[in-house]
Structure 1
Amino acid sequence: MPTNTIIGPSFVHLHLKTFAFGHIEILQTVTPMEPLVQKVVHRFYARKPLGPLMKLMIFAESVMFERDVIMWNNKIFRNNPKLVKEDSAIKKFRHWYSQFFTKNSKSFIDAHENLDW
């Protein structure tokens, strides 16, 4: 069963513990490069004999990530989105993520109007 640890707004650590393959660790970092451009790096760690399985996992991750990029590039920010019960994690994530901003942080509207940040 995988466990997911979100360390901060730009670092995720995924732990996979399997009976057949042992432990697999996946690290994801997100680094802002410029306004609306981010560098995302995924690192996969496992025992050496799992190399072929890791190649398959990296390929599958890249396919899923590319599909997500299409969605991210076309998303619209909603301050209070209408969510169904299954989307309750979105509200929790937004609340958790808000700790990284202060009252002096630029709002989405301010940042969107002036991309010179």
Structure 2
Amino acid sequence: MYASVEKEQFLVLSKAGSDDFHFVLASDTLLLVCDVRKPLMPVLQWAHGLDKPSYVDVLRLSSLRSQSRDDKFNWASDLGFCIIVGSFWNCEFSIFCYGPSLPAPIGSVSSK
């Protein structure tokens, strides 16, 4: 159950990513990433700690990061997302990032 309080209200909704399956909800206390194919089971969940969140935006990490010749973190930039949740009530915001698991080093058991 994602609503930890009986009177929890969803305050903000935004589309997440470009696949049309994921969306982000901000409630009084929680930030949820959900999939329309399983709407009652959040994919990810955080406690945002904001008072009356009033906006949420989802951005690709690649649009926030400067292009670098070092490709060590390109997999994260290409596949990761940043969620910005804010409150106009007290001019605060929080940032949450999510994306794929760390890649396994070549030659490791998990890469095989």
TM-score (norm 2): 0.25
Larger RCO (alpha carbons 8 Å, 6+ apart): 2
Task: Pick the structure with more helix per residue.
Answer: 1
TM-score (norm 1): 0.24
